[in-house]
Amino acid sequence: MTAIYRRELGSYFHGMTAYVFIAFLLVFSGIYTMIYNLNAGYPNFEYVLQAMSIIFLIAIPVLTMRVVAEERRQKTDQLLYALPLGMTRVVLGKYLAMLTVVAIPCAIMGLYPLLLSAFGSVFLPTAYGTLVGFFLLSATLAAIGLFISSLTENQAVAAGLCFGVMLLLFFMADLSDLVPDSTGASLAALLVTVLAAAGLVRLFTRSTPAALVVAIAGEAGLFVAYLTASDAFAGLFGKLADGLSVFERFYVFANGVFDLTAVLYFLSVIAVALFLAVQSMEKRRWS
């Protein structure tokens, strides 16, 4: 795994990917710091990090699009499959290399609250708690991007899919507000969500039976639950969307609360995304 980590980290810095990603985050962190802290005079560095979360819509696809897709395009993934390593170690090595690239701008931004505190009263616990949440958010999105990259051999397709997923995650809570709180509306929205999930299963696994199982089981489960306790569906879709949105989980940190449940949620999403990436590569290995 160490060899994979060093190889991946070297590839990031031998090319332009790491430099573009780091510069992108630092440029916008400087712009938002100037807007919120210097010009407007707010002592809250967490405002900067909250505003910067939208940057991940572009930064994460740039960072993750080539991590596996390029290996598959150049057929160098065959060398990975020939190594005396499980795919879990390969994926972890690649992911840790990405985390190192992500950690560099976060570490540099960790100096900003100290610099700002020299000119005013900055509440450091909230600032650094939000920075931890910012790093966890970026780590979670990077894991999702790695999984998406493992599904295709085209970097442009990987970047496009990743951007679409990031966009959906970013606006998930806002889109849920468009659904009325009535029980019927929530049921309809959940039924559509199950069908969309089944479509994604078919797209990612190319297995029609698996997609049908997800669709039938999900739809039947929802109808049974609705007939059993229909009152529980009032506003349920909005609550689920808010609870599953990684960006909404991060905003809790920006509001001054170090939420341990959000930390566990981020770690859980990372684990699931990496597990799916491993399964995707294992399927490729034996196909």
Q: What pLDDT, in 10s, does the model give residues 177-221?
A: 777 778 888 888 888 888 888 887 776 667 787 788 888 888 888
Ramachandran region, residue 267 (left: φ > 0; alpha: ψ -120 to 50; beta: rest): alpha
Measured between alpha carbons, how far is 241 from 244 in angstroms, rounded to an integer? 5
Reduced to 3 states (helix: H, G, I; strand: E, B; else coil), residue 286 is helix
Phi and psi, residue 33, nearest 5°: -65, -40
The pLDDT of residue 43: 83
- Asked if residues 68 and 247 have their Cβ atoms less than 8 Å apart, the reply is no
CA distance 269 to 277: 12
Assess contact for 105 and 22: CB atoms under 8 A. Answer: yes
**93 contacts 194 by C-beta, under 8 angstroms:** no
The predicted-structure confidence for 90-140, as pLDDT tens digits, reads as follows: 888 889 999 999 999 999 999 999 988 887 788 889 999 999 999 999 999
Q: What tokens does 63 get? A: 């960072």
Determine the pLDDT at residue 108. 94
Cα–Cα distance, 253 to 145 (Å, whole number) = 23
More confident site: 35 or 85: 35
**Cα-based torsion angle of the residue sequence 254, 24, 13, 144 in order, rounded to the nearest 10 degrees:** 50
Calculated CA dihedral for residues 273, 188, 185, 265, nearest 10 degrees: -10
Q: Which residue has the tokens 């970013």?
A: 170
CA distance 269 to 250: 13
Total H helices, total E strands in the chain: 16, 0
Under DSSP, the state recorded for 182 is S
Each residue's pLDDT tens digit, 68-89: 766 666 666 666 666 666 778 8
DSSP, res 234? T
Q: Are residues 71 and 80 in contact, defined by beta-carbon separation less than 8 angstroms?
A: yes
Q: Which residue has the tokens 């005079």?
A: 41
Give the type of residue at 138: S
Mean pLDDT of the chain: 84
Look up tokens 């976060």; give the residue: 106
By percentage, how much of the chain surpasses pLDDT 90? 26
CA distances from 83 to 46, 67, 76, 79, 90 (A): 44, 18, 12, 6, 9
Alpha carbons 138 and 246: distance in angstroms, whole number: 10
